[in-house]
Amino acid sequence: MAEAIINHRLGDRWQAVSAGTKPSGYVHPKAIRALAEIGIHHEGRSKSVDEFRSIDFDLVVTVCDSASEECPVWLGGGKREHINFPDPAAAIGNEGQIMEVFRQVRDDIALKIPALLQNFEQTPSTKSYTGGMH
């Protein structure tokens, strides 16, 4: 969701990619639905961090829930930041309860990551390319 939100809202200044150490092979349908609810049509794909090892990002933002997941370690270049979000795919409950977790994570991403990027932009000698890992 972070990739889609950043590219949709801040695509004139940032290019975000999302990747994981153990990609699922698909973008969760509830993530696509949660994004569509706020007007973002996303056709992304599940990607491995290995696809991006040769890229020196300006900023790498890890977004995993460090309480329940092992956060990936980025071995490439770039400043590293972490923002903790629960994994909505791990949510339990009925359909409505699970969807509400996806919405909450979506909304938190939409607030917290742009704020981080704005702060990064105010730092001297920044560029306009970012990456994310989950």
pLDDT tens-digit readout, 79-90: 788 899 999 999
- Domain extent, residue 39, equals 2-133
- Residue 123's pLDDT is what? 73
- Residue reference for tokens 């359909």: 95
What pTM does this model have? 0.83
CATH of the domain at 54: 3.40.50.2300
Q: How many domains does the chain have?
A: 1
pLDDT tens-digit readout, 6-35: 999 999 999 999 888 788 889 999 999 999
- Residue 130's pLDDT is what? 45
- Residue 128's pLDDT is what? 46
Instruction: Render 45-111 in DSSP notation, one character per residue.
Output: ---BGGGGTT---SEEEE---TTTSPPPPP-SSSEEEE-----GGG--SSHHHHHHHHHHHHHHHHH
Structure tokens at 41: 């049509």
